[in-house]
Structure 1
């Protein structure tokens, strides 16, 4: 038990050294037994670690964002981010949004994130030597208290009229654009100075991967009194790395302890999923059933065509070495011809169905004028037989459109047959030595 506590304390130390908020090893023990007092601590820890996974650091912006979010907003954000990363626990998604309970589920989510994202390895990668920095400004502490205080203009902005507020916003926009241009100019000047330092120190290097000194190294040569501060930073980074290496040696103890956390969960059988509680779950309820069905269909298709594919591959391997390029061309032509023939047959079948279903009809030109229509109908009825009068009347325009479509199908069928026979003639001509195939004048 003492070894477990030492391992958890080491993990807490590693987390604290890499920027997370303060957490005690006792919180892990409380979360194991689902004590509600550890819930808020682990929600905050998950938020900070998710921020690190996204941005590669835990800085003041993370703490400021956490302070500005409400309790419900923070919990919902953590749930959604964990789901995006693949943590699809229904118990975790159903935890209350007021941080009132569920510390054990959050501890399990923390362990999953620690393993899935390889957070310790990422912490190690973020440790870099101060000597590799090109900007030595991080060694100096600046006071931003005066900048953080709101100006008198900002304090009196609330009493301005809408027009004055618009003018004030335009003024601020102009200042912002001017500052951005100044920053761009300073960035270009900084890059030029760095290049000058690199060119001036070419051939001298403390790092085998570079052939020049960094700006930090040149700055330390000019100000040797800063070496003590650099040594302190290096010692701090070495201590961080040493703690993470020690964690690598002892992490198996932590994961065995996490197995006991799962055992306690199974023993307690806590189901904290009330019907009225809001559950932020981004997966459709029938997604699993659809995936299982698609998986089964895919397996059936693979088993159905696997033997055929193997036979085709064997035939291809046996024929590939013996077949010539000319035979391949002929085979390709025959395949294209067969495809064209099948298309023509389909078009012919559809045309025959239309012609077969067509009945004898008589055409009647209709007008909007009822008087002329009656006169025209009486004139037509005097020139047709009673059997013809029993046939239904159809619209001439519709019949003309139908005939035009049939004519287009016939032309398409004719063109396909022409291409088919032309291809057959070319194939026959290629088999006869010294033969020349000349198309008729009507086909050119």
Structure 2
């Protein structure tokens, strides 16, 4: 345990590279003994917030405490005490440290962060995409009325444009592959490597670009070295975490929740239920809008000719079946999450949670 300070310093360095969070070994030491000095509680909340934001990027909200609690619940964290912590971040650094250790041990967040960082780095780049800008395509006019013949011609015209674009994309992809193959064949065994990528060949032809490239690569190199060293010494951190658990257990039986803690727990459950409803509603609206968007290019006269146009009738029937299937899937997901919330509520002593039937 003599090396624990250097190991935690290494972990703080890793967290800085991976999640851009400024946390120091002193915060971990204070959290072990459930102290509040030097903003230890706030720093632990901030650390969990950054990690949870990477795990659930589409659910991020500004309320740090509520978002972290919701994320922990979705991950399956079953330690009730953390859900009873107050929203003012006045105490609870030890519980937050235990939650961080659980995430680190069960979710492999450091490995996932390193993998994601390297995938989007110059080390994994065949082509140089720095100067490629996204260009919005002009909005095409959609004909919503007219004769049946003109409407069909409009549909056929759009189908032709789509086919033309798909062919152009395929040709460009083949051209890129052909160019990359020529570069690979022409750079065989260069610098002791099997071959060079297109972006690496560009650096050889344009040495002025090396400064920016080396700056980006150096940062990734430090991340890789830090992660390798952490893999060798992380067992020391886990031994220290055992002492954190022992410190908590030394306080005695804390399983009975106070009235304020139970009230906070009820709010967490209510927030989870309301968040679930909002997400399901949002998902249902997005799905419906996507289905409607796919039909906006079909003229109104075609949608009204169900009896005379068999193919269009089949198309509408298929879309209807897809919508029904999506609704069934949403209902099934809501039932599953409600069951999980009931199971979560039953773990609390001397409490009753009512879920109204919609």
**Structure 2 length normalisation: TM-score?**
0.57
Aligned to 1:130: 122
Q: How does 1:170-189 map to 2 (within 5 A)?
A: 178=138
Is the partner of 1:268 in helix, strand or coil? coil
Q: In structure 1, what is the Cα distance between the partners aligned to 2:9 and 2:140?
A: 46
Work out which of the residue numbers 47, 50, 64 in structure 1 matches 2:49: 47
Structure 1 residue matching 2:3: 3-state secondary structure: helix
- Is the 1:198–1:213 Cα contact (8 Å) retained in structure 2? no
Q: Give the Å deviation of 1:42.
A: 1.0
* Alpha-carbon separation, structure 2, partners of 1:242 and 1:235: 11
Give unpaired runs (5+ residues) of structure 2.
Answer: 142-161, 270-340, 349-358
Can you list the C-alpha shifts for 1:17-73, whole angstroms capped at 9, x where unaligned?
A: 113321111100011111123111111111111122235xxxxx99xx66xx1xxx3
Query: 1:401: which partner in 2?
Result: none
Q: Which residue of 2 aligns with 1:236?
A: 219
| Matched ranges for 1:344-359 at <5 A | none
- Distance change >3 Å, CA 180–CA 225, structure 1 → 2: farther
Paired residues for 1:362-441 under 5 Å: none
Structure 2 SS opposite 1:100: coil
Q: Distance in 2 between matches of 1:229 and 1:252?
A: 36
Give the C-alpha shift of residue 285 in structure 1. 6.5
Q: Secondary structure, in 3 states, of the residue corresponding to 1:18?
A: helix
Contact 1:17 1:240 in 2 (8 A): yes
Aligned to 2:209: 226
1:3 aligned to 2:7? no
| Counterparts in 2 of 1:107 and 1:283: CA distance versus 1, 3 Å | farther
CA 1:285–1:43: 2 relative to 1, 3 Å: closer
Cα distance per residue 1:296-340 (max 9 Å; x no partner):
xxxxxxxxxxxxxxxxxxxxxxxxxxxxxxxxxxxxxxxxxxxxx
Distance, in Å, in 1 between the alignment partners of 2:3 and 2:140 is 55
User: Hey, what does 1:274 align to over in structure 2?
Assistant: 258
Q: Distance in 2 between matches of 1:266 and 1:180?
A: 66
Over the aligned positions, Cα root-mean-square deviation in angstroms equals 4.0
C-alpha distance in structure 2 between counterparts of 1:202 and 1:98, whole Å: 59
- Greater C-alpha Rg: 1
1:7 Cα deviation after fit: 0.3
The 1:27–1:191 alpha-carbon spacing in structure 2 relative to 1, beyond 3 Å, is farther
Deviation, 1:288, is 6.4
Question: Where does structure 1 lack aligned partners over 5 or more consecutive residues?
Answer: 56-60, 143-175, 290-444
Larger RCO (CA under 8 A, 6+ residues apart): 2
Partner-residue secondary structure (3-state), 2:250 = helix
CA distance in 2, matches of 1:118, 1:45: 15
1:74 Cα deviation (Å)?
2.0
Residues 28 and 288 (structure 1 numbering): CA distance in 2 closer, same or farther, change over 3 Å? closer
Quickly say closer, same or farther: Cα 1:219–1:180, change in 2 above 3 A: farther
User: 1:199 is matched with which residue?
Assistant: 178
Distance in 1, matches of 2:242 and 2:30, equals 16
Q: Which residue of 1 aligns with 2:236?
A: 253
Partner in structure 2 of residue 94 of structure 1 = 84
Alignment length (residue pairs)? 241
SS state of the match for residue 98, structure 1?
Answer: coil
* Correspondence for 1:352: none
**Contact kept? 2:183, 2:196, Cα under 8 Å:** yes
- Rounded to whole Å, the distance in 1 between the matches of 2:45 and 2:89 is 8
Deviation larger for 11-20 or 104-113: 11-20
Match of 2:18 in 1: 18
- Paired residue for 1:421? none
Q: Is the 8 A contact 2:83 2:264 kept in 1?
A: no
Does the CA-based 8 Å contact 1:131-1:214 persist in structure 2? no
Change in CA separation of 1:131 and 1:192 when aligned onto 2, cut-off 3 Å: farther
CA offset at residue 274 of structure 1? 2.6
Alignment check: 8 A CA contact 1:20 1:45 kept: no
